[in-house]
Structure 1
Amino acid sequence: MRITVSGLPGSGTTSLSRYLAQRHGFEMISAGEVFRQLAKEHNLELAGFGRLAEEDSSYDKMIDARQKEIAEARDNIIVEGRLSGWMVPGADLKIWLFAPIDCRIQRIAFRDQVLDETTAKQLTLEREQCEAGRYRSYYDIDINDLSAYHMVLNSGHWGVEGLGSIVDAAIEQLKT
């Protein structure tokens, strides 16, 4: 089984993906973690690294191609990333997580240890705008088009356990 988990920054995609991987014994790959690691290696914040990726599409394309290659070659895998629902067209279950902006900003400020939520919001909105432009330019994908997804869940309403329970039920239905 191949499952994709996508959503905007701070929507909880990594947390849900880890839950599902552990609960079902699946492997997990995360585009966001790869992107964050590359930003650190270049001594840049995410927004700065995003601007670099805007100038050189090879960063995004490398991450996206690698994720797709791994996902297509393996079974029992969770593929987490903003575009994973689009990049793994044959996935058995494609999930999009939504969360209100204020909820996402609180999570991002905590996770990325940003000093204040105003700065976190500014950096997040800049990052989202940058990414949306790159996705449109590289792949003609509108990040707001959720037609590729089987499920859209509000992670501001449910925590990881609640989301996990919903997805667990979907996985069980797919197995039958």
Structure 2
Amino acid sequence: MRIAISGKSGCGNTTVSRLVASQLDYPMINFTFRTLSEEKGIEFWTFCKMAEQSDEFDLEVDRRQVEMALAQPNCVLGSRLAIWMLKEADLKVYLTASTEERARRITEREGGTLQERLQQTMMRDANDSARYMRLYQIDNSDTSIADLVIDSSDKGPEQVAALILQEVRNREKR
């Protein structure tokens, strides 16, 4: 089973994807902007600015993650656009959380002030959404393509992963 997990920054995509992959003993694919910025040796926020000027980075990340997922009969693909890009996914999960909660989580993960992270999160959301629409005509706030939408605002990653694993079990019984 190929499972795609998407959501905006700070929703818990990476953590939840890792937990689900681990529980199922599936490979986890999480090739992201952050991964590519590290691979190229470019500071993340600088890389994001570069991506605003050139589509090559988005296209490379999206192409590589789909190639990695299609090479596996069973996997968990966690990325901003996984549910749209991996058309072959057997289960598409979209995670949501309030902007404030996402900024709080990013502050915990990366440091800085909550106000700074809140502004960056809102800016990143707007920039990402505009790019996804321009590149792929994808509205990354439209959850209608998802099989399962989970608001992670008041849930820990283990709780979110448990909901996804329950859906996997339900689908295996069919």
Partner SS state of residue 150, structure 2: strand
1:143 aligned onto 2:144: no
Q: CA deviation at 1:45?
A: 3.6
Alignment of 1:10-159 (within 5 A): 10-32=10-32, 35-40=33-38, 41-46=40-45, 48-113=46-111, 115-159=112-156
- Paired amino acid for 1:128: D
> Which structure 2 residue ranges, 5 or more long, are not aligned?
none
- Residue 85 of structure 1 contacts residue 95 of structure 1 at CA under 8 Å; is this kept in 2? yes
CA RMSD of superposed structures (Å) = 1.3
Conserved? CA contact 1:50–1:131, under 8 Å: no
Change (3 A) 1:66 1:43: closer
> Deviations along 1:121-171, whole A, 9 cap, x unmatched?
111111111111111111111111111100100111221121122111111
The 3-state SS of whatever aligns with 2:76 is: strand
Q: What TM-score do the two structures reach when normalised by structure 1?
A: 0.92
Check 1:88–1:42 CA distance in 2 against 1; reply closer, same or farther (3 A cut).
same
Aligned to 2:160: 163
Question: More deviation in 19-28 or 64-73?
Answer: 64-73
Partner SS, residue 142 of structure 2: coil
Aligned to 1:6: 6
Contact 1:39/1:45 (CA < 8 Å) preserved in 2?
yes
Partners of 1:50 and 1:130 within 8 A in 2 = no
Q: What count of residue pairs does the alignment treat as equivalent?
A: 172
